[in-house]
Structure 1
């Protein structure tokens, strides 16, 4: 046994040391970092990204080593309180609402607190933690996400730490599911299976999902499971699983028109019917006219009232300011135009492009979501994790560059009162646009840009 350990150490000494160093950095990130300390955040993140690159470079064919490393990195953050986002307070609030028999879609936290600040355990702490913006709006998290919140607080009671651990466990298990189905689908598509580790070891994924409790990973688990089933011609079950993905986050809704050419017209209608009925069944416990009004209004706010880390929108806004446009009116007008442009883009990819092959479907999804995020007025770092994942099944790698450069957006939290640094945002987006342009030109020169696979 000792001989085998010594032999393994000799063969893998450098990767083991890199993994240990990464674990130390993740622990430092999770337990000894304030969001306002941008320089420390940036240095740690860049170091983790470099170590991720080297680990994949050294051990890309050693699945067990990289899988265990990714699990250890996540476990290193297991007991940490999220330090880059306060959204988890709202998750716990919604979960406790459910356990009290109340709908988080029908009551504003600030109103309930004003009426009685003792009606829920830790009510004041949760409202203070989530911030005034969240407390002033109805919940926008879909029903299956709410179920996870409810189960977390059911087991935790009023203990916030236990609720965090339950939610974190669901996110880590989902990442393991993504590793499993992602690798299997890469194998079936004759692509290098080590590509899945650009998701599983990506610092953005580990820190924003396991660390900060965002549920994109749970959504992606159901999404890749569904696509895997579709690839294996099990489209009825795939439709049901796809509905579960939508019921965690709404983002997969945007891809539904793309399945027309992938499945064919007749099958796609049945696919949509199963997705629609399953989604209605999941939302039925919450459904009412007030729910419909409140939920659509809250989701609509993300298009017309909020802005963070925007790309094209910031360009339009700064040009508008030069012509004395009012920023609050500009974002509302821009928010009305963006959905139209996205819908047109989806239509073009759905009906003018051949998406019959799974790889082609992934590429269409990548570009549809890219256009949406390029135009969006709000692009939180964890949003682009979906892009990172989609890219692994295509020839494009610009989302990986974005997963590195997007850390610059966190500068806004280091300034009192929250203020974005447009120079840093310019650097972020120039890196993404520049690398994307390079990839498009390279593929065009190789005559592969419009090649159907």
Structure 2
């Protein structure tokens, strides 16, 4: 009782913000329709302000921060996601596996158009996932599918039950990210409270726990891998990194950035051998996860589905939209097929540049390179769903960059597309979003250091 009295006495202000945040999260989870843009913006902006105040006023009362982070997530436990319909496909895939089907070999359209209902609530799940998802083969890697299967195993005939199981998995992953993220920050002699920029970020709570996006699980394995790498356990780091890739393919593009971690100047030959072994472990472990689903048909279906993200889909893009408009002016057509092939090549060249010309031999340098390379990839992508930004938010925790935090606030503007029945984007709104993001990026990455160096030279330093 004395502890509670002291907590109330010395932490009245943060407790008030925690209470207000809880009420706003409840409203977000159970009383929000995504077409109600005004309410969406007011709730989100308020939650961002409350999170800032909680971290600012609470000091480093670690236990209270952890309790708050878990509480906010548990408030969503029995809510059906209201900003994304992807979870219907997650449940569909998990139930397919439970019934003995390979989810990579069949589209939902195949079953429904042939009058087949392979899983419980087939029609409801089919209607919920939407025509776009239903017409394509699944693109979720095997460990992600394992999460879907667990949901089917424990709650195979209830959509809400499946949602609850999936949400518990994501919450557990976030707790793991908190644990290893804090330990890694302490090893790096960086302020450990930085992990709460991620854990208490309303964007992370809403997009991952609320909307059931498995970037949270991927990020858990990525942070754990970085921790193992810093601890000298690089072989285990490779195994865990493969787990991250097997949840979402995103970390595959980070592999070249590990070059200088292993290839030291004093013994390059030994370093190259370690690097190749590291890549071999990552590759072998990833392939091992795919083996239960493997067939030539699977390879064909999966490669086609992944390629769609570069040549067919477009949402919340930045540089691509500018290139698209230029294409319209020149040819009168949407040149996504051509632009969608060129931009990934530019992204690859940027990643190779960061890999070969930056000495990524410490965790802060490595995470900074991954952050900047992946940011450039997102700037050049045709499709940037809000939850993609989660990766740059966690990476900035281990660097001095803050622009991902700005992005995590500004991206709520992308949801204004849902204010109309056709879900069409307002390019002026997207332009405003990226004006904010690019301004923060250019200031931090290109201008800030130069101004500091210039000021230092001018003062004779």
**Residue of structure 2 aligned with 1:443, choices 431, 436, 449:** 449
User: 1:253-264 to 2 correspondence within 5 Å?
Assistant: 253-264=252-263
Structure 2 counterpart of 1:291, from 294, 298, 304: 298
How many residue pairs get matched? 445
Question: Please, what TM-score do these two structures have when normalized by structure 2?
Answer: 0.95
Matched residues in 2 for 1:135 and 1:310: separation? 23
Q: CA deviation at 1:414?
A: 1.4
Asked if structure 2 preserves the Cα contact closer than 8 Å seen for 1:223 and 1:242, the reply is yes
Residue 446 of structure 1 aligns to a residue whose secondary structure is helix
What's the CA shift for 1:447?
A: 4.0
Secondary structure at the counterpart of residue 316 of structure 1: helix
Separation in 2, partners of 1:169, 1:34: 23
Q: TM-score, normalised by structure 1?
A: 0.97
Matching of residue 305 in structure 1 with residue 312 in structure 2: yes
- 1:8 offset after TM fit, Å? 2.0
- 2:314 match: secondary structure: coil
CA distance 1:289–1:348, shift in 2 (3 Å): same
The answer to whether the 8 Å contact 1:26/1:76 transfers is yes
TM-aligned CA deviation for residue 158 of structure 1: 1.4
Quote the Cα distance in structure 1 between the aligned partners of 2:3 and 2:342. 63
The residue number in structure 2 matching 1:315 is 322
Q: Is the 8 A contact 1:107 1:138 kept in 2?
A: yes
Deviation at 1:6, TM superposition (A): 2.7
Aligned to 1:185: 184
Q: SS of the counterpart of 2:212?
A: coil
For residues 387-406 of structure 1, the aligned pairs below 5 Å read 387-406=392-411
Q: Compute the displacement of 1:60 (Å).
A: 4.0
Residue 152 of structure 2 corresponds to 153
Aligned equivalent of 1:51: 50
Offset of residue 154 of structure 1: 1.3
Q: Contact 2:111–2:117 at 8 Å: present in 1 too?
A: no
**Using the alignment, how far apart are the partners of 1:31 and 1:285 within structure 2?**
38
The answer to whether residue 331 in structure 2 is matched with residue 333 in structure 1 is no
Contact 2:354–2:369 (CA under 8 A) maintained in structure 1: yes
Contact 2:324/2:339 (CA < 8 Å) preserved in 1?
no
Q: Is 1:358 aligned to 2:363, yes or no?
A: yes
2:344 and 2:380 in contact (8 A); partners too:
no
1:230 aligned residue = 229
What residue number does 2:133 align with? 134
CA RMSD, aligned part only?
1.1
Change in 2 beyond 3 A, CA 1:148/1:6 = same
Q: Distance in 1 between matches of 2:257 and 2:103?
A: 32
SS of 1:323's partner is: helix
Do 1:308 and 1:380's aligned partners in 2 also have CA atoms closer than 8 Å?
A: yes
Q: Give secondary structure in 1 for the equivalent of 2:160.
A: helix
Q: CA deviation at 1:206?
A: 0.2
Q: Is 2:289 the partner of 1:282?
A: yes
Per-residue deviation, residues 161-200 of structure 1 (Å, max 9, x unmatched) = 1111111000000000000000111111111111110100
CA–CA distance in 2 between the matches of 1:4 and 1:387?
38
1:82 aligns with 2:89: no
Q: Bigger shift: 115-124 or 346-355?
A: 115-124
Q: 1:146-167 deviations in whole A, cap 9, x for unaligned?
A: 0110111111121111111111
Q: Secondary structure at the match of 1:194?
A: helix
**Which residue, out of 385, 389, 399, partners 1:384?**
389
For structure 2, the 5+ residue unaligned runs are 264-271, 455-461
Instruction: Name the SS of the counterpart of 1:403 in structure 2.
Output: helix
1:80-122 superposed Cα distances (whole Å, 9 cap, x missing partner):
0000000000000000110111111110111111123433211
8 Å contact from structure 1 (residues 117, 124) kept in 2: no
1:407 is displaced (CA, Å) by 0.2
- 1:451 counterpart residue number: none
Verify the 8 A CA contact 1:175 1:200 in the aligned structure 2: yes
- Contact 1:29–1:44, Cα closer than 8 Å, also in 2: yes
Q: Is this contact kept in 2: 1:108–1:137, CA < 8 A?
A: yes
Runs of 4+ in 1 over 4 A off after TM superposition: none
Select 1:432's aligned residue among 437, 442, 447: 437
